[in-house]
Structure 1
Amino acid sequence: MDINEPSQHNVEFDSSTKQNLTPAYEQSAILAQIADKAERKLKLRWILAISCLPLFGIYAAFGIAPQTLTGTIATATVVEEIALPSAANTQTNVAEQHFWYKDHVRRDDTLNNVLSRLNVHNRDAINFIRSDAVASEITSALKPSHNMEAQTDGDGNLISLEYQLDTDQFINIEQIPSGYTASKVTHKLEIRPILKSAKIKSSLFGATDDANIPDDVAIQVAEMFESQIDFNTDLRRGDHFNVIYEGSYDEGELVKTGDVLAAEFVNNGKTYQAIGYRDATGEMQYYTPDGKSLHKSFLRSPLEFTRVSSSFSTGRFHPILQRIKAHQGVDLAAPTGTRVKASGDAVVDFVGQKGGYGNVIVLKHENGVSTVYGHLSRFADGLHRGEKVAQGEVIGFVGMTGLATGPHLHYEFMVNGEHRDPMTVALPKADPITGQNKVAFDAISRELTAQIDLLGNSNIAALE
């Protein structure tokens, strides 16, 4: 054992050995341990002292250095008179300041309400808006959600005003030396495609609301695929779709949506695609990506969106007559006033009242086909026998006239006088796109299909 390192080893003695140790040896061992502890404490103190040196330097820099500079700085007192602006000048400056205000028309708004929110208070401007031939149109054209902007001075005097009459039509009012002038202007809108996706949880409109897709776009999607998907019965939770539609922007703000350019709908695991193409008349038609028409000679349903409340049947218990009677059409439940559309190009064969049908319209189509629309609340203005109507044209409005227990449309489909089930009858398709139009269509189809695929892949990546 090295006696210089007594603390590095544990020395154990049995009882007989301890009795043989001399007091001098015991004292020597204790003193050696005390000396070793003292040496270690001394080393620790040196380490701490060295570590504190940077702290003393920092303290000296911040505590001593500023004191050494204060004695050399020369100080002086400066007195200067500042002229305050007069009250008259202050009022003039405030009046000359211009303020911009923007608001939208709310339900039940009056012109005075809107102008008050826009800080327009001078009577001559308000009288001009009410009396001028152009500006006075604002009063009669106040529509909820339409925008109005105004520029005023600090006293609420109108400098300029702009009101949105229509999507791209505006009325401008400007202050001139003699008063005010008004004019109509047209804003050039920027049209850009909007790409959206939605997932079905309960209904089509519920999905589009969740995805912030406008109702008119949802209706177009339903009409595009109505010959392949029955949106009343075929939708499944988890179905999803991608859609590209036109958006019109005014100075970067979306002001309206237009036609659907392309869409893809996955229903119960099966994928359906549609590509839009405008014909020579500018009407948007829809085809499969390879050019087969999705357009039918007849709409499956003459209502934009509804549910079947009573199906086609050869023997149904009539709720009013209280007996078994053939139901030779379908009842489509919808609120009173819902628009009813012609299911195909036709000539009006009858319009008026007829027995249990109440207010009814009968249309005669080509190839021996006739359609019947019953229980209407009213007819489209000016509709008369012999008038030609186009597919999708509004011909009347849902009601409950005649033998009806609630508002709905009774719809019949007849071929050569024989009734067929409107929900299952085979609807003839239109001709496919051909010729030079096919070349232009193929280019559009490739581009839109690539965008739809990219949108679908992005959604899959987001889910993963």
Structure 2
Amino acid sequence: MQKREPEYQQNILAQNLTHKERKLRLRWLIVISALPLFGIYAAFGIAPQTITQDIVTQTITEEVPLPVSEAVAFNESSYWQTEVVRRDDTLDSLIDRLNIKNTEAIAFLKYNNEASLIAAHLRPGRIIRSETNAAGVLSRLEYQVTPEQTLTIEAADNGYRLVKDSPDVVMRSVFKAATINSSLFGATDAAEIPDQVAIQLAEIFSGDIDFHSDLRKGDRLVVVYEVGYSHGEPVRSGKVLAAEFVNNGKSYRAVLFRHPDGHSNYYTPEGKSLHKSFLRSPLEFTRISSGFSLGRFHPILQRMRAHKGVDYAAPTGTRVKAAADGTVDFVGVKGGYGNVVILRHDNGMKTVYGHLSKFSQGLRSGKKVSQSDIIGYVGMSGMATGPHLHYELLLNNQHRDPLRVALPTAVPIPAKYRQEFNLASSNLVAQLELLSRRQVAVLE
């Protein structure tokens, strides 16, 4: 008979086994839980140690602007606008094109005594600039009333104020080329060369070229001249620095040389002065109504007669210049000449200026005059069918054609300035030759 253990002993054994199992399970749980810690410890043991004592911590604070609504941001922005004054512009039309809307600014522009200079000096081609916001409120307006003065209107605490200032002008060299089709002004207009530069060209080469009658279709010119820029916009034309004019196949060149004593003059690249002792014409570049002829049908006398001079058509009041240094030999009324001035010059030469409307104040016989002095004004006194200047040139009391006679030239470049001139001239001539080659290449 099998011997059985008492029931209470079995319960105790069962309890003992259960307790052992629990301890075993607990040990395994501890081991499993420790594995991640062991891995971390191993990683630190393998990886090189990081030195932390030299690390400096720094707090960075960045200011982030609060978002502004699109409408507010747009209205507070300002915009610069540039306009070129047109021939028919008024102050009102410019205010409209510049988008100036606020009544305070408009009233200041119209009724302020100094600001009214803008309206009084509107000239085609000049630049006017304004700064406004999207609502048309004016912040600043700039206008160059003359080459030497700029008016600036700017917003102030109590409205607007006006500041007169000399413009900040930067001079730059501009290179242009033109080809003659009909006239000098027609060619320069097509090439966008300013009238002031065209007039300078006519004066520079007038001793060699008669711009009224000698020009030929196909004649060409290249010119280097100064342009003054303010705020990136051209505001005025300066002097011609160098030019070449090819007339009827013959080339004429001129370079500007500024003497150390302050005055300037034009010379050929070889140093020969282009300044003539006599002006070829006593008027600034005007249309000739009738040229020199020994047999001309007189419009009043209705018969052929010698016309020993040149008639320059010009509006009444156009200024007449002395052709050269000299002395007044006669001033008054003389037959068909009407009001006339006769000047006596060196070397047996005389010049006659007829049909004048009036004489310069203080002009009298025996008075000394210098070349280009104003001696009278164009009119139609005497036997004249319209306003013009009748001009004669006499050598030893013999009439000469003013357009054809060889006129005395001035002195060449002084020897003491020769080295400086050669340096300046060579640079300018190199620019002319480059521009001329390009022009010929385009024409071919």
TM-score by length of 1: 0.71
Work out which of the two has the higher radius of gyration on C-alpha atoms and give 1 or 2: 2
Please state how far the C-alpha of 1:433 moved relative to its aligned partner. Answer: 0.8
2:247 to 267, 280, 284: 267
Matched, 1:344 2:324: yes
Q: Does the CA-based 8 Å contact 2:363-2:375 persist in structure 1?
A: no
- C-alpha distance after superposition, 1:314-366 (max 9, x if no partner): 56443212345443322233455554333223455555544422343333434
What residue is the counterpart of 2:235 in the other structure? Answer: 255
| Structure-2 separation of matches of 1:387 and 1:135 | 45
Q: Where does residue 398 of structure 1 map in the other structure?
A: 378
The letter of the residue matching 1:135 is A
Query: Are 2:144 and 2:167, in contact at CA under 8 Å, matched by a contact in 1?
Result: no
Deviates more, 1:275-284 or 1:292-301: 275-284
1:227 counterpart (182, 207, 212): 207
Question: Residues 127 and 405 of structure 1: is their aligned pair in 2 closer, same or farther, counting only changes over 3 Å?
Answer: same
Map of 1:427 onto structure 2: 407
Distance in 2 separating the partners of 1:393 and 1:217: 22
Alignment partner, residue 446 of structure 1:
426
Look up the equivalent residue of 1:273 and give its one-letter code: R
Q: Tell me the amino acid that sits aligned with residue 307 of structure 2.
A: H
Q: What is the alpha-carbon distance in structure 1 between the residues aligned to residue 133 and residue 406 of structure 2?
A: 68
Alpha-carbon distance in 2 for matches of 1:296, 1:421: 16
In structure 2, what is the Cα distance between the partners aligned to 1:288 and 1:333?
Answer: 31
Deviations 1:357-382 (A, max 9, x none): 234333343444332222234556x4
RMSD of aligned Cα (Å)? 3.2
2:118 paired with 1:141: no
State the Cα distance separating 1:121 from its structure 2 match: 3.9
Rounded to whole Å, the distance in 2 between the matches of 1:142 and 1:388 is: 40
1:160 aligns with 2:140: yes
Give runs of aligned pairs for residues 356-395 of structure 1, distance below 5 A: 356-378=336-358, 382=361, 384-385=363-364, 389-395=369-375
1:413-457: per-residue Cα shift (whole Å, max 9, x none)? 234544333223331111111222111111111111111111122
Q: Are 1:212 and 2:187 matched, yes or no?
A: no
Q: Provide the rounded CA distance (Å) in 2 between the counterparts of 1:462 and 1:424.
A: 34
Q: What count of residue pairs does the alignment treat as equivalent? A: 377
1:185-334 aligned at under 5 Å gives the runs: 185-279=165-259, 282-313=262-293, 316-334=296-314
Q: Tell me, which stretches of 5 or more residues in structure 1 are unaligned?
A: 1-84
Aligned residue in 2 for 1:41: none
Deviation per CA, 1:57-100, whole angstroms, max 9, x where unpaired? xxxxxxxxxxxxxxxxxxxxxxxxxxxx99xx888666544344
Question: CA distance change for structure 1 residues 248 and 350 in 2, over 3 Å: closer, same or farther?
Answer: farther
Identical positions, percent: 54
Structure-1 residue corresponding to 2:13: none
Letter in 2 for 1:402: G
Query: Secondary structure of 2:146's partner?
Result: coil
Q: Which runs of 5+ in 2 are unaligned?
A: 1-66
Aligned partners of 1:138 and 1:235: how far apart in 2? 40
Distance 2:334 2:278 in 1: 24
In the alignment, what sits opposite 1:48? none
1:411 alignment partner AA: Y
Using the alignment, how far apart are the partners of 1:189 and 1:343 within structure 2?
35
Q: Give the SS at the match of 1:460.
A: helix
